[in-house]
Amino acid sequence: MVFFNDLNFGKYRQMNSLLLAIILIPAVEIYLFIKIGAVIGAFKTVILIFFTAFVGIYYARAEGLNTLNHGLKKMVKNQMPAYELISGALIAIGAIFLILPGFATDFFGFLIIFPPTRKIIFKLFSNKNKKDDIKSKDFIEGEYKDLDE
């Protein structure tokens, strides 16, 4: 008999979120294809998808090289390029979103690649980690006696 305490529901919740995203993202994209295609036409919709992908990838490449340049400058100054590392990962995620065909993924891809948005995400990420570091440091006070003496 399996007790509820033995089950790891957090793992199943993450799997359900991933499954939901795998189903919802294409559904939203298909809906947007239909709506936008009805307004501007099917051929123009396909051209617009390719155009946003090419422009997005070009912009992602430029931002990636810019971030790499800033990171190298910080490393030369013996500083940790923390923002540049997170920024580079976010640019890669944004580029993947831009490669995927669709308007919603393109919107989020451009949003992630845009530098002010990356700064906001970095601040949220760094503030969360600072709070986690403080909470994770549990200290136990006590006395000890050296038994070898």
Flag whether 144 is in a domain. no
Domain ranges, residue 25 = 9-133
Assign residue 143 a region: left if phi > 0, alpha if psi is -120 to 50, beta otherwise?
A: beta
Predicted confidence at residue 41, as pLDDT, reads 94
> Which of 13-22, 44-53, 140-149 has the weakest average pLDDT?
140-149
State yes or no: pLDDT of 136 exceeds 70.
no
Flag whether 140 is in a domain. no
Task: Kindly report the length of the chain.
Answer: 149
State yes or no: pLDDT of 133 exceeds 60.
no
Flag whether 62 is in a domain. yes
Per-residue pLDDT band at 1 (split at 50, 70, 90): very low
Q: Tell me the residue type at 60.
A: A
Nearest 5°: phi and psi at 98?
A: -75, -30
> Which of 30-34, 39-43, 123-127 has the weakest average pLDDT?
123-127
Q: Which residue has the higher pLDDT, 40 or 126?
A: 40
Number of domain units in the chain: 1
Helices (H), 77-99: 82-99
Nearest 5°: phi and psi at 80?
A: -80, 125
**What does the pLDDT look like over 34-87, one tens digit per residue?**
999 999 999 999 999 999 989 999 999 999 999 999 999 999 999 999 889 999
Distance CA 99, CA 53 (A): 6
Flag whether 106 is in a domain. yes
DSSP letter for each residue of 36-67: HHHHH-HHHHHHHHHHHHHHHHHHHHHHHHHH
Flag whether 143 is in a domain. no
Predicted confidence at residue 10, as pLDDT, reads 56
State yes or no: pLDDT of 6 exceeds 60.
no
Flag whether 93 is in a domain. yes
Nearest 5°: phi and psi at 73?
A: -65, -40
Flag whether 146 is in a domain. no
Report yes or no: 133 and 94 within 8 Å, Cβ to Cβ: no
> Which of 4-13, 18-27, 29-38 has the weakest average pLDDT?
4-13
> Which of 14-18, 111-115, 118-122 has the weakest average pLDDT?
14-18
